[in-house]
């Protein structure tokens, strides 16, 4: 044969075949044959054939070791409801789809829906939930009749989709599949759903109803100017909370967590609420207590909140000002704080009214009692500018799990703002600014406002530096006047 007429690719293919023939003749053990077979397949078979060979080999091996098939039906046994695990498994598999490896793909586009409903159409008809590659809510998933592999803790599982989803693992992995793999899938899908969720903010009206609208607040923990250690501890606390469903169940406590955010006006308490909302992807329920006229209205509002939601009561000290800062006149009528002649805080009384009949103790009881058991995975946030004016009942250990101080703008917080506004992490004015920030009390809101004044970083930082110098000057003048 004239080798010059044979294409180069055929030449190397022929050589490879010869080499494998020789090696096979000398291979002495089963292992050696296996290694050789793998190498031959890699070099000699086209991609599609190789995939088929791999699938057939793994199928045979599974058969040899004793396979265990787990059938995940589309509907519950009584045929009346969807099987949540079926949806979860399909959504999970959608995240694993490699469009280049599957012969057929189910393609759909996700319709974004609002709200907390976990069952909100991830993957549309195909049940997948990942925007796996195409963007624009495009979802790829396994088509009925096709199959996919997955590897978990080194063990290989095989899915086949028909009317049900059939998952096959080596029988020896049965406990691992039931104990860890299936919970892993559920957790994985829940986390993806959480991240994908579009958010709503609900406000209470005085008729005792919630009214929702889209929540598009852009604040995140990245944009939040805050002491890094404090910020990390809030994020870690939220992470811990999310993971602790079983823990809360075991210790017999409702799966809820309370945060009290306190600090001067303009230090970012509302921004932190927004960052927490965006981080958790829970809907936000903004309770305006001045609209709540009775405990029964409050009860209705709170118990109608779904799981995975955040209740926020801003300026909680003002809500109960009639009690905390007001007092009873001789006739027993509540005197509003602004009607009082003295500034001295009145003795706190947790039974006092904020409206016609809503009490602080009512609120706290619902939060600790009825409300806490009427749902799961809920966050309650109170904010205040005046922690010292709060009723001790609110501050009692165990009531608000975490107290977070939002303070004046320090150097680290300023660096976050400078990076957010101008993408700079250094500037000739920084050393002076660092010194000034340690000497004066300026809120992140004031700093943000100064930074917004110009798009030119030099101009904006110069303006802020002058502002800080003036503050320092004013402080020194004030101190001198007092001396
Ligand atoms: N810590 C911060 N990080 C980033 N931006 C902040 C921060 N604090 C304030 N700001 C900016 O100032 C604005 C007002 O801040 P925010 O409403 O969050 O403060 P607050 O403490 O809730 O104030 P108040 O007590 O008056 O309600 C925000 O929209 C944001 O632009």
Q: How far is CA 341 from the centre of its chain?
A: 47
ipTM value, please give it. 0.98
The answer to whether 381 and 273 are in contact (CB under 8 A) is yes
By C-alpha distance, which of 104, 239, 249, 130 is closest to 192? 130
* Amino acid 112: pLDDT: 56
Sequence-distant (≥ 6) Cβ neighbours of residue 170 within 8 angstroms: 62, 65, 66, 67, 68, 155, 156
Residue 194 CA: distances (Å) to CA of 114, 237, 280: 12, 17, 7
Q: Among 272, 448, 451, 464, which residue has the most ligand 1 atoms within 8 Å of its CB, making it the best to mutate?
A: 448
**Measured from the CB, is residue 416 less than 6 Å from ligand 1?**
no
* pLDDT per residue as tens digits for the range 237-295: 999 998 888 888 888 888 889 999 999 999 999 999 999 999 999 999 999 888 888 88
Structure-token pair, residue 253:
């406590």
Structure tokens at 96: 């694993």
pLDDT of residue 340: 34
Beta-carbon contacts of 178 under 8 Å, excluding residues fewer than 6 positions away, are none
pLDDT in the model for residue 338:
37
Find out whether the beta carbon of 450 lies less than 6 Å from any atom of ligand 1: no
Residue 417 · residue 448 · CB < 8 Å: yes
> Which is the closest atom of ligand 1 to the Cα of 273?
18
| Confidence (pLDDT) at 54 | 65
Helix, strand or coil, per DSSP, at residue 334: strand
Kindly give the distance from the C-alpha atom of residue 197 to the centroid of ligand 1, in angstroms, as a whole number. Answer: 25
The list of the chain residues with pLDDT below 70 reads 1-65, 79, 110-137, 320-359, 362, 370-371, 483
Choice from 271, 275, 405 to test ligand 1 binding pocket (greatest atom count within 8 A of CB): 271
Which of 410, 355, 59, 415 lies closest to 222, judged by CA?
A: 415
440 φψ region: left (φ > 0), alpha (ψ -120 to 50), beta (else): beta
The model's pLDDT over 86-128, given as tens digits with 9 standing for 90+, comes to 989 988 998 888 888 888 888 887 665 544 444 433 433 344 4
Distance, CA 162 to ligand 1 centroid (Å)? 53
**Chain centroid offset of residue 19 CA:** 56
Closest C-alpha residue for ligand 1 atom 13: 445
In the structure encoding, which two tokens stand for residue 9, read together? 């690719």
pLDDT computed for residue 119 by the predictor? 42
User: Do residues 349 and 332 make contact, with C-beta atoms less than 8 angstroms apart?
Assistant: no
């Amino acid at each position: 044969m004239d080798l010059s007429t044979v294409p180069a690719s055929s030449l190397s293919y022929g050589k490879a075949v010869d080499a494998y023939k020789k090696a096979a003749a000398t291979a002495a053990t089963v292992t050696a044959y296996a290694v050789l077979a793998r190498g031959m397949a890699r070099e000699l078979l086209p991609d599609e054939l190789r995939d088929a060979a791999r699938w057939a080999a793994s199928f045979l091996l599974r058969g040899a070791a004793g396979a265990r098939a787990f059938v995940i039906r589309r509907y519950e046994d009584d045929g009346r409801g969807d099987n949540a695990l079926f949806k979860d498994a399909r959504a999970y598999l959608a995240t694993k789809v490699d469009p280049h490896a599957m012969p057929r793909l189910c393609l759909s586009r996700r319709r974004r829906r609002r709200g907390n409903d976990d069952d909100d159409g991830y993957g549309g008809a195909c049940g997948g939930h990942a925007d796996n590659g195409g963007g624009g809510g495009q979802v790829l998933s396994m088509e009925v009749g096709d199959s996919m592999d997955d590897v978990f803790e080194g063990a290989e599982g095989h899915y086949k989709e028909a009317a049900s989803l059939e998952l096959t693992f080596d029988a020896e992995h049965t406990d691992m599949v039931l104990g860890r793999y299936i919970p892993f899938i559920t957790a994985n899908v829940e986390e993806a759903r959480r991240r994908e969720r579009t958010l709503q903010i609900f406000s209470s009206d005085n008729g005792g109803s919630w009214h929702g609208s889209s929540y598009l607040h852009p604040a995140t923990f990245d944009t939040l100017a805050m002491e890094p250690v404090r910020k990390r501890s809030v994020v870690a606390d939220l992470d811990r909370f999310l993971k602790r469903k079983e823990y809360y169940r075991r210790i017999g406590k409702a799966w809820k967590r309370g945060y009290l955010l306190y600090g001067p006006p303009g230090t970012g308490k509302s921004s932190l609420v927004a960052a927490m909302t965006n981080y958790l992807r829970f809907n936000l329920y903004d309770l305006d207590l001045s609209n709540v006229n009775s405990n029964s209205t409050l009860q209705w509002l709170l118990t109608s909140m779904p799981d995975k939601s955040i209740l926020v009561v801003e300026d909680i000290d003002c809500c109960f000002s009639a009690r905390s800062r007001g007092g009873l006149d001789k006739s027993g009528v509540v005197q509003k704080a602004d009607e009082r002649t003295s500034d001295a805080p009145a003795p706190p009384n947790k039974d006092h009214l904020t409206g016609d009949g809503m009490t602080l103790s009512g609120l706290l009881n619902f939060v600790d009692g009825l409300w806490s058991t009427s749902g799961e995975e809920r966050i309650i946030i109170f904010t205040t500018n005046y922690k010292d004016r709060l009723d001790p009942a609110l501050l009692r250990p165990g009531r608000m799990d975490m107290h977070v101080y939002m303070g004046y703008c320090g150097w680290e917080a300023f660096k976050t703002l400078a990076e957010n506004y101008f993408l700079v992490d250094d500037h000739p004015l920084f050393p002076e600014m660092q010194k000034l920030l340690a000497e004066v009390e300026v809120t992140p809101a004031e700093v943000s406002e100064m930074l917004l004044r110009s798009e030119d970083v030099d101009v904006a930082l110069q303006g802020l530096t002058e502002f800080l110098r003036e503050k320092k000057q004013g402080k020194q003048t004030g101190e001198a006047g007092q001396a």
